[in-house]
Amino acid sequence: MLQRQLQSPVRRRKGGDAPSGGGMSGGGASSRQARLGNAAVQERTTGPAVAEDAGATSASFPDGEELQEAGAQQPSRPTKLGKGQTGALIGTEATVKLSRSSDGKGRSAAEVADGSQATILLVSGSRIKVKVRDGEKNVEGWVDGAIFSDQPSLTRDEDDTKLADEFVYSKVEGDHSPVNPKGKDTAQGAAGDCFLIASMAAVANASPGAIKDMVKYDKKKGTYTVRFYEEQGRGAAKPVYIEVDAYLPTEKANRKDPSYAGDEGGVMWSAIIEKAYAKWKGGYDVIGEGGTGEEAMAEITGVRSKNKRPSSMKEDEVIPFFTQAQKDGQAIYAGVKDSGKSAVQKPFSGSGNGPFTGALTHTHRWNEIHPGSIAITDTKGKAGDIHDSGSHGDKTGKLSGTGLKSGVVNYKGDSKDQLELSFAKDKGPAAAADLEVAFDYEGVLDVAKTIIGNHAYAFEGVVGKELQFYNPWGTYQPKPITPGEFLAHFDSLTTNTPPSTKTQG
């Protein structure tokens, strides 16, 4: 499972009680992480290759004319406008009016918030026709192309993927370069990119200088150049420089509240790095689909990461491994299993051939059934075994089995009866109490220790004979866990040794 995608449940939105977006789902292969934008970036980058050796010197930033040669783009405004480009409408007023006609005359098509994401549909001279979210629908209209800003695409609305999340780009004033970076500075937002945020936290815990050296602020332009690394083969890594402006996605109702990495009034260097990473990879929606700590930490440090399977470790090996890794200056990242196994339950009521109905019980309010994992058994052997056929993302699924006439399951638990089955004549159980149900669940795998399933964590330290991890949400921090709990809940472990660094002037 080391290469599986970690698509995390994201931390709760402000004012909410549970995580939103992302989902607590099983991951796919890491190849699902899109690599958009790399080819163009490769042609613009300069700088020496960095060897895999942990003592390699980090590449320095280009300055002045060299920075332009490295392909640093002007903040916000693209040099060309074309059909299909996605960015944001950033002008000088609180709202942007969309016209019905290309000349801007006549009736208005809509009025949207300044900073709204927009996709270009047509270009006519200096005017562009765009598609923008307005409430619960997309609207189209014409605007001056001069207000179109080159910004990474936003995540998608979890209730309607045809809509971008209703965030707006807002300028964040000041210099947000990392000064004294710590892992606890990070706070994941409404993108399922726990792999990236946890990687930043892990590197910051091991080598604050490695994070400091990533970001260079241009006070005159108000832009940041962030350096990543892209592996070229045989352990060599080529620096990639991504320039971003000071506009960040924020909550529409509060433009000081970041929608993704960072918290209002908090340290914001992780938000700057996240934006640059999103621009490099093709958008917040792309990195929100997940990735791996193995890749992300290597892209941050220029050093190849190393993986170790928790399943290959013995309980008495756990504490010595983490102790030595931390002593060696390694950044440590660990991923939690996708799901846990429920206790056997007998939730059904009914008689004869049915219908038999019942609601499953969860150990935490966030938990949900992992589709495709339900097993219903008749302890007296009269009815045949029953299974569900759902897959990730389904709201409902079908139940099937020998002698079953019909069966449905509601995975989200938002109705009184999560399960309902009816049997063919004389094929039902002798009594409802004979039917047992077991299933896998997604969500909080260990309620007592607050361990979230399908999620990435950064290691902080050994506490006595237990391990302390950091949740990149910035909230719902886990309690220290024993080696046995680590082996029971975690299925990936990645280390990376940042090179010795010297902060650039």
Q: What is the pLDDT of residues 357-372, one digit of tens each?
A: 999 999 999 999 999 9
* pLDDT-based confidence at residue 75 (cuts at 50, 70, 90): very low
The rounded distance, in Å, linking the Cα atoms of 34 and 161 is: 18
* pLDDT-based confidence at residue 501 (cuts at 50, 70, 90): low
Range with the poorest average pLDDT among 58-62, 407-411, 466-470: 58-62
Half-sphere exposure of 197 toward its Cβ, with a 13 Å CA cutoff?
Answer: 35
Range with the poorest average pLDDT among 42-56, 215-229, 290-304, 336-350: 42-56
Strands (E), 317-412: 331-336, 340-341, 356-358, 368-369, 375-378, 386-388, 396-401, 404-410
Range with the poorest average pLDDT among 143-147, 157-161, 239-243, 409-413: 409-413
Percent of the chain scoring above 70 in pLDDT: 83
Better-predicted residue by pLDDT, 50 or 139: 139
With CA atoms as reference, report the closest residue to 13 among 335, 478, 473, 479: 473
User: How many residues belong to the chain?
Assistant: 505
What pLDDT sits at residue 21? 37
Query: If you average pLDDT over residues 233-244, what whole number do you get?
Result: 87
Q: Tokens 């309902």 — which residue? A: 420
* pLDDT-based confidence at residue 26 (cuts at 50, 70, 90): very low
∠ CA(479), CA(485), CA(490), 5° rounding? 95
The pTM assigned to this predicted structure is 0.85
Q: Look over the chain and give the mean of its residue pLDDT values, rounded to a whole number.
A: 85
The helix-helix angle for 194-206 and 293-301 (nearest 10°) equals 50
Phi, then psi, of 490 in degrees rounded to 5: -100, 140
Q: Is the model's pLDDT at 59 over the cut of 80? A: no
Q: What is the pLDDT of residues 271-308, one digit of tens each?
A: 999 999 999 999 999 999 999 999 999 999 999 999 99
